[in-house]
């Protein structure tokens, strides 16, 4: 099974960025532990702060992979283009968020990903990614 974890803007700063909201662990640390725990899964990881690069990656893997776990960061709330890209590919996408976006500012309650996603997982810290992975498995 081939799964891509795709992180959007500012998620490269995990571990340092607003630790009270996003925690103290870097994504690389978390990803290493995930790879060990799910050794049977072919897990890939890509992060970009650039909207077009996220779209290119969705196009690249979206006809060959079994699942995409997408945390589009703030683009979740703004990007019609990422929403359209998900609509245009075949691989199912699960939208994830580290924080509970529905308990935060109102602008975070809007998602252009959710209507095109298989499901949404938010508010479980980095475990949100693992729950999405379990769902694909
Ligand atoms: C986030 C929530 C978004 O609103 C925010 O812009 C992020 C991270 C999360 O994982 O909780 O960058 O996607």
Is the distance from CB of 3 to CB of 136 less than 8 angstroms? yes
Residue percentage of the chain with pLDDT more than 70: 100
Residue 8 CB contacts under 8 Å (≥ 6 apart), including other chains: 47, 48, 49, 54, 70, 71, 72, 73, 74, 75, 76
Distance 125 CA to ligand 1 centre (A): 11
Matching residue, tokens 């890209």? 85
Is any atom of ligand 1 closer than 6 Å to the C-beta of 4? no
Mean pLDDT computed over every residue of the chain = 97
> For residue 21, which atom of ligand 1 is closest to its CA?
11
pLDDT band for position 137 (cuts 50, 70, 90): very high
Atom of ligand 1 nearest to the CA of 9: 12
Interval 20-27 mean pLDDT: 91
DSSP 13: G
Burial of 65 (0-12, 13-18, 19+ CB in 10 A): buried
pLDDT tens for 73-93 read: 999 999 999 999 999 999 999
Q: Average pLDDT of 33-51?
A: 98
Comparing 16 with 82, the larger pLDDT belongs to 82
Active-site positions? 22, 97
- Catalogue all structural domains in the chain, each as residue range(s) with its CATH number: 2-136 (3.40.50.9100)
Atom of ligand 1 nearest to the CA of 96: 10
Q: How confident is the model at residue 23 (pLDDT cuts 50, 70, 90)?
A: confident
Q: Which of 89, 10, 15, 90 is nearest to 51 (CA)?
A: 10
pLDDT value at 115 more than 90: yes
- Indicate if ligand 1 lies below 6 Å from the C-beta of 108: yes
Q: What is the pLDDT of residue 104?
A: 96
CA separation, residue 49 to residues 126, 135, 137 (Å): 19, 26, 28
């Amino acid at each position: 099974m081939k799964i891509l974890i795709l992180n959007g803007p500012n998620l490269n700063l995990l571990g340092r960025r607003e630790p009270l909201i996003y925690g103290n662990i870097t994504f690389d640390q978390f990803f290493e532990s995930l790879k060990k725990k799910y050794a049977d899964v072919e897990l890939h990881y890509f992060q970009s702060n650039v909207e077009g690069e996220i779209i290119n990656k969705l196009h690249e893997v979206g006809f060959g992979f079994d699942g995409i776990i997408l945390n589009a960061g703030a683009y979740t709330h703004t990007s019609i283009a990422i929403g359209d890209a998900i609509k245009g590919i075949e691989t199912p996408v699960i939208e994830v968020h580290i924080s509970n976006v529905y308990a935060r500012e109102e602008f975070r309650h809007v998602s252009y990903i959710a209507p095109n996603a298989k499901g949404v997982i938010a508010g479980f810290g980095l475990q949100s990614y693992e729950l999405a992975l379990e769902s694909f498995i």
